[in-house]
Structure 1
Amino acid sequence: MAFMMGWRRRDEILVVLCFLITVSCASCIEVVPHTTGSNRILIESNSDSSSTVLSVRTERIDPFDHFKEYKGGYNITNSHYWTSTIFTGKYGYILAALWPIGGIGLAISSIFFAKKKTTDSGTESHFKKAQFWLIFMGIFFLLLTIIASAVAITGSLRFHSRAQSIKRIISRTAIEASDTLYNVTKAIESMQNLTSVYDGFANSNNLNSTAQSLSEEATNIQMKAKDSMRLVNRGINILELVTIVFVLMNLLAVLIFLVARPLKLKMVLSMIIFVCWIFTSLFWIYFGLYFFLAEFSGDTCLALDEYQLNPQNSSLGTILPCSDSANTMLEDVGTGIHNLIDQVNSEISTVRSTDMPGLEYVCNPFSGPPEYLYQPDNCSKSTIKIGDIPQALRRYACLETDEMDCTQAKYVISASEYGKIQVYTTSIQNILDVFPGMERLVNCQVVKEAFSEILLNECEPLNKYAHMTWAAMAVLSTFLMLFIITWILESLHEKRFHTLDGLVKLQLSSNNMPEDKVEP
C-alpha cells in the first residue's frame, strides 16, 4: 500500500506537468508555422562577417523604389528584395527589348537604301572574296551557336535537378514537422484521460484547445507545404521545359537555314531569320532570369550559412524564430518528469524490501540538475521504461472478478488502483515518446538539419549550374546575333553583287546595240 500512497502524492505533480505540456506545445505552434563538412559557403568563420557579406551583397538597385538602393538585407517577405534581385538581370531584359527595335530599324533602313542608286565600288574578285568570308563567318557562328545551345540545355537540366532536390528536402522537413505535431497531439489526447481520474481536471480545457490547435497546425503545414511545393514544382518545370523547347527549336531553325541556303529558298531563309531574331530576344530574357536565379540562390545559400552560425542574428532568424520561452518550458517539463521518476524509484526502493521484492527500477531519461537533458541512451539495462510499470505490477494486482482471489497476500494493488497507475504511466510515457520531436521543433533542429543538408550537398552545384546556364544563354544570344547579322550582310552583299552584275551587263548590251545596227 505504500507504493499506492506514493502514486497519490504525485497527483499534483502530474497536474503541473500537464499544464507545462500545454504551454510548451502552444509555444511549438508559434515556431512551426514558419517552417515551410569540409566545404563552407563563406571563408569567414564568425556570424558578424557573414552578416556583413550578405547585407553588402543584397544592396541592389530597386526599380520599384525610384531606383534607390535596396538595403533591407535578405528578406523573402519583402517585395523590394524581390524586385531588386530580379532587376539584377537588367542587361538581359534591356538587350531583349533593344534587339527587336534594332530589327525594325534595320528593316526600315534596308527599304530606304534599296531605293537609292547602287554604284560599283569594287571588282568581281573583291565581291567574291567578301562573300566567302561572310559565308565562312556565318557557318562559324552557326557552329558556336550549336555548342552554346548544348551547354545551355545541360546547365538548365542540372540546375533544375538541384532545385528539385532542394524542393524534396523542404517537403520532407515539412512532413516531419507535421508528423511530430500529430504525435504530440496524440500524447495530449491521452493525457486527457487524467480528467476521469480527477473527476474534472482544471486544465482539461487547455489540453483540449492545445490538441485541437496542434492538429489544425499540422494539417495547415501539410496543406501549405503541398500548395507551395506544387507552385515551386510547376515553376521549375515550366522554366525548364520552355528553355529546352526554345533552344531546340532555335537549333532546328538554324539547321534548316543551313540546308535552305544552298537551295536559294529566299522565303524560307527570310522566315528563319525572323524566327531566330525572336529567339534571340527570348534568350536574352532567359539570360536575365537565370542571372536573377543565380543571384537569389547565392543569397539564399549565404543566408543559410549565416543562420547555421548564429540563428538569432541572421536574416532568416525573423522568418524562422527559435523560441527561447518554448525551450524554457521544455526544460520545465524535463525537470518535472525527472523529479517524478526519482520519487517513483524512491517508492520502489521502499516496496522492494516489503511487498514487491522483484520490482524493477524505472529508467530516468533526463540528466540531473541543472540541465535536465533528455538522454534515454544512458539508462541501465536493468531498468524499465515508466510505460512498462503496469506490466511490472501486473503480478501484484488483483484484476479478477472473483473477490475471493484478491484475499491472497500477493495481491497488494486493487483493480481501480491498477487502472490509475496505467493511466499515469501511459500518459508520461507518451510525453517521453514525443519529447525528442518536440525538442527538435522548438530548437529548430529540424530546420537546421535541412539547411545543413542543402548547404553541404546542394548549394555549390546549384550556384555552379545557375552560373553555367546564364553564361551559356549570354553566349548563345551573342553568337545568334552575330549569326543573324552575318547572314543578313551576306544576303545584302549577294543581292548587291547581282544587281551590279545586271547593271554592267545591261550597259554593255546597250553600248553594243548601235554598232550592230551600223553593220550591213
Structure 2
Amino acid sequence: METTTTKKKHCFSLLVFIFIFSFVLFCASAITPQQNDQVKSILEEDSLGHWRDGILSSSAAEAPGPADEPSGALVLAGSRTKRPDILNRFRRYQGGWDITDKHYWASVGFTGTAPFILAILWFVLFGLAMIIHHSCGWRLYIKGKDSRLSQIICLVLLVIFTCAAATGCILLSVGQDEFHGEAIDTLNYVVDQSDYTVQTLVNVTGYLSLAKTVNVAQFYLPSDVKDSIDKLNIDLNSASDTLGRKTHQSSRKIRTVFDAVRSSLITVAIVMLVVSILGLYLSVLGHRNAIHLFIIGGWLLVVVTSILCGVFVILNNAVSDTCLAMEQWADHQNAETTLSNILPCVDQRTTNQTLFKSKQVINDLGNIVNGFIGSYANSYGVPSGNPNYYNQSGSLMPYVCSPYDSQLQERNCSSNEVSMSNASLVWQNYTCAVSESGLCTTTGRLTPDMYQQLIEAVNISYALQHYTPPLLSFQDCNFVGETFTAITSDHCPPLQQHLQMVIAGLALISVAVVLSLLLWIIYANRPQREEVFAKIASKIKGKCNGKLCRDDRTVHVSSTNQITEV
C-alpha cells in the first residue's frame, strides 16, 4: 500500500512539472515575434564580403562589372534581413530582400522557429504526461475540507480561460478577415498598375499601326517608316505580354495562398471555439470519458495553432521586409533588384525606340496633312491644267501645328496654325457641299471625304502625342516607384497591424486552451453527488448492518444506496 502511494506521488510530481513547464513555454510564445532581435548578437559572421549602408561595394580584388551598369546591386532591407541562415550553418544572411533566393527564405523562416519548437515540445511533453497519467492510474481530484471553495475557484478559472480562448478566436477571425481584404486590395492595386502600363503600350502599338493606313489624296507614310513601325510593334507587343504575364502569374499564386490561409484560419477559429465551449460544458457535467476526447483534440489543435502562429510570424517578417525593400528601391530606381518580379519596368531600349518613332510618325502625319492643305485645299487656279482642282474657294485653311521640330524637340505653334485638339472644329467651317461629280457646290476648301481623311490623320497624331509621354515614366521606372511608394504608405501599415492581430489571436488561443486542458481534467474528476452518497452509504452499511440510530431516528439504506429517514 505504501509503495502504491509513493508511486502515485512521483507520478503527481512529474505530471505537475510537465504542466508547469508547458505553461511557461506557451506564455513565452506571445513574444516570439521579437526573438529575431535576441539572436542577432549571437551569430556574427564577417566572412561574407564588404557591406556598407546596405549597398554592395566592390573591392579592388573583385572583377569589374559592365561599364554601363548604373549603380550596381542594391541590397534591399539589408538591416532587417541580417538573420541566421538555417541553410548556411546559421551564419548571418547578408543578401538582403530577395524572394528568388532560398537563403533569404531560410533566414526569414528562422524567425518562426520559436513557435515551431514550442509546438514540438508541447506535443511531446503533454503526450508524455497523458501516458504517465494512464500508466500510473493517477487522477487529479479536488478533495478535502476546502473542496467546495476549490471547485468554485477552478470553475471560475475555467470560465475565464474559455472566455480568453473565445477572445482569441474573435481576434483571429477579425484579424484574418482584415488582413485578407487589405492583402487583396494591395494585390489588385499592383495588378491595376500593371494593366494600365500594358494598356498604354497596346494603345501606342495600335495607333502606330493605324498610322500606316493613313492616305490623304495619295499622301502616306514612307515605306521605310512603315517597316520600322512593324519592327517596333513586335518589341512593344513582347514588352506588354511579358509585363502582363509576370504580374498576373504572381497575382494568381499570391491570391491562391491568401485564400488557402484564410480558409485555414477560419476553420481553426471555429473549431477551437467549439472545442473550448464543449470542453467547459462537459467538464461541468462531469462526463469524464467524453472529456478525454476533447482533451486529446485540444492537445493536437494547440499544436496546429502554434504552427500557424509560427507561419504568421514568418509572414509578418516577410511583409515588413518587402515594405522596407519597396521604400528603399523607390529612392534607388535604377538599381537592379528582384522587385522586377513583382512589377517589372519596361525595357529602356524599347521605350526609347517607341518615343523616337512616335515623334517621327507624328511629324510625318503633320507633314502629310499640311502637304495636302498646301497642295490641294489652299491651291489656286482654273479647272483646266490643274489636277488638284475640285472647285475649292473661300478663305485659306490654317495648317495643323506639329508639336515637334525637325530635331524632334518640342516647339510652339505659330499664329496661323491650329492645334491637333481643335483642328476638327476649325476645319469643319471649311467644308463644302459636293455634287455627284465630287466638286464643291458651296464655298469651302474641303470635301466631306477629305475632311474625314484629315481628321483621321490628326486624331492618330493626337493619340500618339497623348499616349507616348507616359512611356517616359515606364522607361525610368517612375511608375513602379510611385506604385511601391503608394503601397508602403497606404497598404503596409494596416497589413502589419492585421498580421500582428492574427498572431496575438493564435497565441492567446494556444495559452488559453493549454490552461483549459488542465482545468478540464481537474474539474471533471471532482467528486459527484452520487459518489458522495455512495461513500456515506458504504460507511453506514459497515457500521450498522443497514441501520443507523441517532437522535431517536432510524436511517435505512436500501439496496440501491438510497438513504431514507424514518
- Report Cα offsets for 1:399-450 as digits up to 9, x if no partner: 98848x4999987x99999999778656544422321343343233432332
Which of 267, 270, 278 is the matching residue for 2:300? 278
Structure with the larger RCO, 1 or 2 (CA within 8 Å, 6+ apart) = 1
Deviation, 1:169, is 0.5
- Report Cα offsets for 1:106-164 as digits up to 9, x if no partner: 1211123227xx999x9721555544433332222122111222122111111111101
Aligned to 2:104: 81
Aligned equivalents of 2:270, 2:468: Cα separation in 1: 54
- Which stretch of the first structure deviates more once superposed, 195-204 or 436-445? 195-204
Deviation, 1:331, is 6.1
Equivalent residue pairs, number: 459
Q: How do 1:313-462 and structure 2 match up within 5 A?
A: 313=335, 315=337, 319=341, 320-321=344-345, 325=349, 328-329=352-353, 332=356, 336=360, 358-365=396-403, 372=409, 383-385=418-420, 388=423, 392=427, 395=430, 402=437, 405=439, 425=458, 428-462=461-495
Q: How do 1:149-188 and structure 2 match up within 5 A?
A: 149-188=169-208
Q: How do 1:22-61 and structure 2 match up within 5 A?
A: 54-61=77-84
Q: Which amino acid aligns with 1:292?
A: I
Aligned to 1:252: 274
SS in structure 1 of the partner of residue 84 of structure 2: strand
Q: Which amino acid aligns with 2:119?
A: A
Q: Among all aligned residue pairs of Structure 1 and Structure 2, give the percentage whose two residues are the same amino acid.
A: 17
Answer yes or no: is the 8 Å Cα contact 2:100–2:338 preserved in 1: no
Judged with a 3 Å threshold, the aligned counterparts in structure 2 of structure 1 residues 198 and 341 are, in CA distance, closer, same or farther, namely closer
Q: Which amino acid aligns with 1:58?
A: T
Aligned to 1:106: 129
Q: How do 1:301-320 and structure 2 match up within 5 A?
A: 301-313=323-335, 315=337, 319=341, 320=344
Answer yes or no: is the 8 Å Cα contact 1:287–1:474 preserved in 2: yes
Judged with a 3 Å threshold, the aligned counterparts in structure 2 of structure 1 residues 94 and 269 are, in CA distance, closer, same or farther, namely same
SS in structure 2 of the partner of residue 465 of structure 1: helix
Given the alignment of the two structures, is residue 133 of structure 1 paired with residue 180 of structure 2, yes or no? Answer: no
Answer yes or no: is the 8 Å Cα contact 2:200–2:467 preserved in 1: yes
Answer yes or no: is the 8 Å Cα contact 1:257–1:272 preserved in 2: yes
Judged with a 3 Å threshold, the aligned counterparts in structure 2 of structure 1 residues 379 and 484 are, in CA distance, closer, same or farther, namely farther
Aligned equivalents of 2:355, 2:166: Cα separation in 1: 63
SS in structure 2 of the partner of residue 55 of structure 1: coil
Given the alignment of the two structures, is residue 261 of structure 1 paired with residue 283 of structure 2, yes or no? Answer: yes
Aligned to 1:21: none
Aligned to 2:315: 293
Judged with a 3 Å threshold, the aligned counterparts in structure 2 of structure 1 residues 189 and 473 are, in CA distance, closer, same or farther, namely same
Judged with a 3 Å threshold, the aligned counterparts in structure 2 of structure 1 residues 125 and 409 are, in CA distance, closer, same or farther, namely closer
Answer yes or no: is the 8 Å Cα contact 2:312–2:502 preserved in 1: yes
- Report Cα offsets for 1:248-295 as digits up to 9, x if no partner: 221112112222223222222111222222221111112112212211
Aligned equivalents of 1:367, 1:305: Cα separation in 2: 40
Aligned equivalents of 1:204, 1:265: Cα separation in 2: 87
Answer yes or no: is the 8 Å Cα contact 1:386–1:428 preserved in 2: no
- Report Cα offsets for 1:286-320 as digits up to 9, x if no partner: 21122122111111111221122221247456654
Deviation, 1:57, is 0.2
Answer yes or no: is the 8 Å Cα contact 1:397–1:415 preserved in 2: yes
| Structure with greater helix percent | 1
Give the gaps of 5 or more residues in structure 2: 1-51, 56-73, 381-393, 549-566
Aligned equivalents of 1:509, 1:360: Cα separation in 2: 126
Q: Which amino acid aligns with 2:201?
A: L
TM-score, normalised to structure 1, is: 0.70
Q: Which amino acid aligns with 1:106?
A: A
Question: What RMSD over aligned residues (CA atoms) do the two structures have, in Å?
Answer: 5.1
Give the gaps of 5 or more residues in structure 1: 1-46
Aligned equivalents of 1:498, 1:103: Cα separation in 2: 31
Answer yes or no: is the 8 Å Cα contact 1:62–1:70 preserved in 2: yes
Answer yes or no: is the 8 Å Cα contact 2:175–2:498 preserved in 1: yes
Aligned to 1:472: 505
Given the alignment of the two structures, is residue 143 of structure 1 paired with residue 163 of structure 2, yes or no? Answer: yes
Aligned equivalents of 1:126, 1:374: Cα separation in 2: 98
Given the alignment of the two structures, is residue 230 of structure 1 paired with residue 265 of structure 2, yes or no? Answer: no
Answer yes or no: is the 8 Å Cα contact 2:162–2:512 preserved in 1: yes
- Report Cα offsets for 1:152-195 as digits up to 9, x if no partner: 21111111111011011022112212211221221221233379
- Which stretch of the first structure deviates more once superposed, 75-84 or 191-200? 191-200
Judged with a 3 Å threshold, the aligned counterparts in structure 2 of structure 1 residues 491 and 414 are, in CA distance, closer, same or farther, namely closer
Q: Which amino acid aligns with 1:384?
A: S
Answer yes or no: is the 8 Å Cα contact 1:184–1:438 preserved in 2: no
